[in-house]
Amino acid sequence: MNRSKKGKNRKLFKKKSHSNNRLGCIIAIIVLIPILFGVYLYCQQINIQKNNELQTDTSLQIPLGKDLETPISLVPLQEQIIRHSGYTVSYNKDLKIPNWVSYELTREETKGKEKRGNRFIADPLVTGPIATNADYTRSGYDKGHMAPAADMKWSPEAMKESFYFSNMCPQHPQLNRRGWKNLEEKIRNWAIADSAIIIICGPIIEKQPKTIGKNKVAVPQRFFKVVLSPFAKPIRAIGFLFNNEQAVEPLSSYVVTVDSIESLTNMDFFAPLPDEIENKIEANANYSLWPN
C-alpha cells in the first residue's frame, strides 16, 4: 500500500474514533438522564412521605392542656393533689415538698403585669404538716419555686399561690438563681413563640434524703423539668435534669429525653397523647429544635 492510501486510512480512522467518542457521550447522557430523573423522583417521594407522616401526626386529636398536665405515677405515691388557679401540685406530707408541680403557660399569660410577691406562706389546702420559713433559715438552701412567680403575673391569686410552701423545695442557691432561673426564662420565650406550653417539674428524692429544719423538710438530690409544646408543628417535648448544686453550664448541657426522666421518677408524662406521638417525642431530646 502506498503512503497516500495509508494517510487517508489514518484520517478516516481518526474521524471514526471521534465519531465513536461523540456517540458514546451521547449514549451515556441518554442513559444518565432517566437515572438522575429517577433519583430526583425518589427524593421527592421521600419528602412527600415525611410530610404526610407529619400531617398525620398533627391531624391526630391532641388532648386539652389540663389533661396533659397530670402525670401518672407508676408506683404507690404519698400525695395530695391540689388544683390551684395557677398550677396543680402533688404534695407529699411525708417529705414536706411537692412530688411534682404542673401548669400550662400561654402567650397571653406571659404579658401579665402583677407585681412579684415575696411572702412565703402555708398552703391553706394542704392536709398535714408543711414547711415554714424557719425550716429554711440558715439552712444553706433557697426556697426554690417549682412553678415560678414570674409565670404567674397574669393574676393576683396565681401570684399569691406561687408562694405557697407546697410549691417550694430546698434548692442550692446557685441552681435556683442560675440554671433553674435561666430555664424558667427560656420557657417563657417558648410560650411566646409556640402560643402555649405544658410544664411539669419537681424533685428527685433518694430513699433517705437529707432534711432541714424542725419539720424535717427533705432536700432533693436532683430536679427535673419536662416541657411539651402541643401546638407546635411538629409537636415537641424535651426534658432537663439538674443536680441540686451549682448550675452554670449552658442549658443544653442539662437536656435529656422525657423517657429518661420517666425512668428516674416512675411517672408517665403526657400519657393522654396518641401513642405514636408520645413515643416519638419522648424518645428525642433535640434542643436545637426549640426557639432561641
- Of 272, 273, 262, the closest CA to residue 75 belongs to 262
Which residues have a Cβ under 8 Å from the Cβ of 237 and sit 6 or more positions away?
A: 226, 227, 228, 229, 258, 269, 270, 281, 282, 284
Cα–Cα distance between 143 and 26 in angstroms, integer?
78
**DSSP state for residue 207 in the 8-state scheme:** S
Q: Are strands 196-204 and 267-268 parallel, antiparallel or unpaired?
A: unpaired
Give the E-state strand segments of the chain in sequence order. Answer: 72-73, 80-83, 88-92, 97-106, 142-145, 168-171, 196-204, 211-212, 217-218, 222-229, 236-243, 255-256, 267-268
Candidate list 18, 84, 145, 172, residue with the active-site label: 145
176 annotated as belonging to a binding site for a ligand = yes
Residue 34: alpha-carbon gap to chain centroid: 45
Cα–Cα distance between 151 and 153 in angstroms, integer?
6
Residue 56: alpha-carbon gap to chain centroid: 21
Active site residue 145: yes
Main-chain dihedrals φ then ψ at residue 138, nearest 5 degrees: 55, 30
List, as residue ranges, the binding site.
176
Q: Which residues are catalytic?
A: 145
List, as residue ranges, the binding site for Mg(2+).
176
